[in-house]
Structure 1
Amino acid sequence: MSDQPKLEEQALSEALKLGLSSQLDEAENIGVRIETDLLKVVQGKVDFVVVEGQGLTIQENIRLESVELHTNQISINPLSALLGNIKLDQPVDTTARIVLTEADINQALNSDYVKSNLPPVELDVEGKRVTIALDFPLEMRLQSVGKIHFSGAISISEVGETRSVTFAAVACPRTDTQPILLETFCCAPGQGVSIPFMIVLLSKVQELVRQPYFQLEGVSLQIKTMQVEPGSLTVEAQIHVNQIPNL
């Protein structure tokens, strides 16, 4: 039996590739593999889809070094798919492996897209309302195995007064056996914060990192593991897609 893809698989693969490419700002390379047959294509059914890409830019200044997606039993609108417009008829569960370089992460961290999605946060510190906001630029460094070094500044506003505090932190990423761990957190000399404030802040950070899913335009993403190597971060995740987002 031939291992060559059937004509209908080739046609739909090329159509999906075209549809995905049209939604990306840039793609150095992208490939789509599909398993289906002619009857299933007419019905809009696909047994599985594998998408592999390198150098994908999904938003201005947000670049992914490589992406590998696997999904089973996808249901799409066949006519729109053949025209390069991907529309899901039913939600899809996908596994993903994403590699980001240190340079790509820092470019994304300081992009307008990320800034607009990181609003100020209000905290209750011993009955007083305190507002914190990240000051840009931020920097993440991946210098050693299993360590994420993060540095930046936050603005702290309370009782009509605002001050900036520069900080540096080291974290150990999520694995199969442990959550994200904060190894160190320190402020610049002369810019310390109170212990009650730090307790509330770390509690808020813990709440955020323990969220089971992150939502983005009809997509729910759950991070399973994060692997840090010098200069790169590999993320394995489970993704629930209600509709292909407008990237």
Structure 2
Amino acid sequence: MPEKQGLEHLLSQAAEITLSNQLDEVEEINVDVRTNLLKVVQGQVDQVSLSGQGLVIQEDIRVQEIKLRTDSVNVNPLSALFGEIELNEPVKAVARIVLTTTDINRALTSDFIRSQLQNLQLDVDGETVLFELQDMQLFLPGDGKIGLTITVLQKEAEKTQSLDFTVILHPLINQQTVILESINFTPGSGISIELIVALMPKLKQLLKSPSFQWDNMAMRIIDMNVTNENLILMIEAHVSQMPS
């Protein structure tokens, strides 16, 4: 085997072992490192590609399938030789991620997701109203739509009450915003017109920014496809350091 192919194979294999050890569960993972010995010594890697199935991160976050590719990477040469990608400079990556509804609903109970959705504040006629997420479940009603059933605790100065509602969305397509098709509140919940008026701009703001921060990565959803059982996401990521 030529030196370049042999080195790439060894680096790829070492990276697979390192990543597998960092995941809670993994069915299959493949890493492809493109470089040569001279570039590694200089701390350079042309490209890193990753594909995997059944990856479980932090117990509650599972990915059915992922395919990820980076641009050229500047790395710590010593760590690279041992299969650990320690970045010297931030790197851009593009990923295709497949999530099942079961995996999504499992993730929605995780501390990470709940931390992103807690303490929503609205100004309702000059009074601050605080919402605390109690439960959220995703379902796919067909026709490429996404549904969410949500229960929140509405906290006001004089009272606290539970609100249940269902949201139907058209997903993000070709970098366009998600469209809110409908929002239906459970009859008898006692929600006021003033609260609905305050809530709609906030929902619009959240749907316009399909991005989030995780560990050392800033991620943005650039496209989304809905099948009968899965969500398929195309994501751009700006990675300042590989997650440990």
Q: What does 1:162-241 align with in structure 2 at a 5 Å threshold?
A: 162-176=160-174, 178-211=176-209, 213-241=211-239
Runs of 4 or more consecutive aligned structure 1 residues displaced over 6 Å after TM superposition: 2-5
Structure 1 stretches lacking a partner, 5+ long: none
The alignment-based identity, stated in percent, is 40
Q: TM-score, normalised by structure 1?
A: 0.92
Show the counterpart of 1:83. Answer: 82
Which consecutive residues of structure 2, in runs of 5 or more, have no partner in the other structure? none
Q: 1:5 to 1:229 in 2, by over 3 A?
A: farther
Q: 1:148 to 1:52 in 2, by over 3 A?
A: same
2:156 matched to which residue of 1?
158
**Other structure's SS at 2:26 match:** strand
TM-score (norm. length: structure 2): 0.93
* 1:143 and 1:229 in contact (8 A); partners too: no
1:46-80: CA deviation from partner (whole Å, max 9, x where unpaired): 11111001000011111000000011211111221
Task: Decide whether aligned partners of structure 1 residues 34 and 84 sit closer, same or farther in structure 2, where only a CA change above 3 A counts.
Answer: closer
Aligned residues of 1:169 and 1:185 also touching (Cα < 8 A):
yes
**Aligned-partner SS, 2:138:** strand
Aligned length: 244
Once the 2 structures are TM-superposed, how far is the Cα of residue 101 of structure 1 from its aligned partner? 0.2
Quote the Cα distance in structure 2 between the aligned partners of 1:154 and 1:212.
21
Instruction: Say if 1:199 and 1:22 are closer, same or farther in 2 by CA, change over 3 A.
Output: same
User: Deviations 1:181-225 (Å, cap 9, x if unpaired)?
Assistant: 111111111114222211221211222222364222221111101
Query: Aligned equivalents of 1:156 and 1:34: distance in 2?
Result: 50
Give the aligned CA root-mean-square deviation in angstroms.
1.9
- 2:31 & 2:141 partners in 1: Cα distance? 33
Q: 1:127-156, CA deviations, whole angstroms, 9 ceiling, x for partnerless residues?
A: 0111111112x2101242410011021111
In structure 1, C-alpha distance between the alignment counterparts of 2:143 and 2:61, rounded to whole Å:
23
Q: Secondary structure at the match of 1:198?
A: helix
Quick one: distance in 1 between partners of 2:200 and 2:218? 25
C-alpha deviation, 1:43, in angstroms: 1.4
Amino acid at match of 1:124: D
